[in-house]
Structure 1
Amino acid sequence: MKILLIEDNQDHRELIEEYCSHAFGNDCDILSFDKLKSGLDALDTTSFDIALIDLSLPDSCAEDTELALENLDTHIPIIVLTSLNDEMLGQNLIQKGAQDFLPKDSLNSALLHRIINYSIERKKGQFSLEQRAIDQQTFCISLSHDFKAPIRNISQLTKILKSRLEEKNSFEEGDNLLFSKIDERLSTMNRLIDGLYNYILTEELHPAPDNSVDLNNIISELEQLLTNVNGKNVTIKYGELPVIKGNDTQIYLLLQNILENAIKFCRVDPVIIITSKSDESSTFSGLFRHKITISDNGIGIDKQYLKDVFNPFRKLHSDSDYPGSGLGLSVVERIIYNHGGKIWIDSDKNKGTSITLAFP
């Protein structure tokens, strides 16, 4: 176990070194520094299993050390040592990149052994998740570019082929139908790629909780976009909606998916009613402050299938009846959970659907 220790108090340093030696025995190699800069320089140039860093040092006050840890780019897990037994301080340090914090007056060999091992495992898990995020981000880019390029190419080639056949009067019975089927399949592939892109992207994105998102502006934009879809006259009715905290791009995508579903799964001109309820004391539904309900006059969902509608690729209808990727509501569910919210769906066959979104 190779340990970096940054601690300026000699008594504390000797005690921590002793605890580490007892905890890990002969398999313990400790490199100690009494200043933050020299310790972090060593962190850049030397391989360690763990770093134990005092919060207040001769060349760095507590606030400066916190800032340095926040800006630190390292795969080495960090445990902050402090003379203050302050839970809020500890939570703040962990949010800024530390794996854990230890009040010095609580230290002993057994605790140090356990916390160090746990921190190393947590950092490995965090690194693995970060790598997965990078891989999925790369896949998202590939979906939106590399996967769609050959589809566009096929579409262009079929148009050229169709044009040449028309010029030569070489069309035979049924050829137009075949070209229509090719176009339909290409559209299906594009929808599937778009659905997958949004599904994967919403797993990687997290809301910015300090952003104010005005739902009135989003619904107004979507209303202009969706007023006339596939020859249907769409009516969207809503009163004053709340301003919530979150990621405006994700909230837009969430509401777009719900409204497009309400329009698609409707045999008549769609009428969508959006209502809201806010409680400043957050007394309803646990800690949820805002509830938004979106109701439609569509074909509804048989109650036996309600539990399945959020499953990826779960489609209750054939593509010929209602084309889609089967990922819309999965994206909706991910976004609402990203925002610490909850979603309910109430529906019955031929009686429309109501979706309620609850936000903190």
Structure 2
Amino acid sequence: MNAPSPKVASTDLFDPVQLGPYTLSNRIVMAPLTRSRADDQGVPGELQATYYSQRASAGLIVSEATNISAQGKGYIRTPGIWTKEQVEGWKLTTKAVHDKGGKIFLQLWHVGRVSHPDIQPGGAIPVAPSAVRAENQQAYTYEGFKPLVTPRALETDEIPGIVKDYAHAAECAKEAGFDGVEIHSANGYLLQQFLSDKTNKRTDRYGGSIENRTRIVVEVVDAVTKVWDSKRVGIRLSPLTKFADIGDSNPEPVYLSLIEQINPYGLAYIHVIEGDTQGERQPAGGFDLQKLRHAFKGLYMANNNYTLDLALEARAKNLADLICFGRPFISNPDLVERLRTGAPLTPPDTNTFYAGDEKGYIDYPTMDRLAG
């Protein structure tokens, strides 16, 4: 192993850290990254096993967002976790990661309105808290990109079924051999659609007040922690993002209330997108996200355009317990070692981010291959 660069010699970013029952090898997390390389039935295979195992030096891998049901799907060739075949496919990945000494959580995902009838079972209209269309957004279908449609508002008596879908998916993730799960309540997808007053216009017990808008998220946390020990469960939040045309007129009290309500469950971590997803880290109209860090009783995982310098600063100032890196992991399977030694990073080929085959997926070289 090469010596650390002088820049990182005194940091604990590369030291082991405890996450629930697990001792992670370092504080660096591989973020969920949609790559659209499952088959048409949402079944991952050997390709995914190779991809994730190549990156198993991360302290923790959070899998790409994974559909909890056919209704929850919003993009072609994204993996699922509700059928036996999908479970068997994911077993290849969990074994491969564990064989390399890594840890991997599965991210549970329902896209809500960010879908299209072409992707939904029977050509159904996508569902959402309210019939509010995401403006200037497109769905990735088998016929290319198409504008999103106005979703159908869920009936009150349908919502418990969606909560059960999360619980079933969590059961499937356990069967597939994952080390834990992350509830995706960010980036403009279904759970955040309930949280946000821009997208939630309901007048029943799931709309209006903060207590009502946070209700389904708390119910999902309750259901998932009945399947998994809570110290093996995390949740992803993006209070300030505009991704997928989401937003809230006053997000701070919403998210502080949510944290207060989920604290009794004892979750392992909150995974926070700091700022606008893939955009500004401190957008106008935001609030100090350290308030969430101080309010939450578990670990704080920070994400959004992190560089090594930002990560080192976050640890030096104790602003985060874990640091998520996303796109750098795509083109640098040995990212942890490159960051530790100060080696240059390989830039990614953006043309191969989504769909395709091995190219731009499992063919990026490690440092030793480059040296050879």
TM-score of the two chains, using structure 1 as the length reference: 0.22
Higher-helix-fraction structure: 1
Higher RCO structure (Cα 8 Å, ≥6 apart): 2
Q: TM-score, normalised by structure 2?
A: 0.22
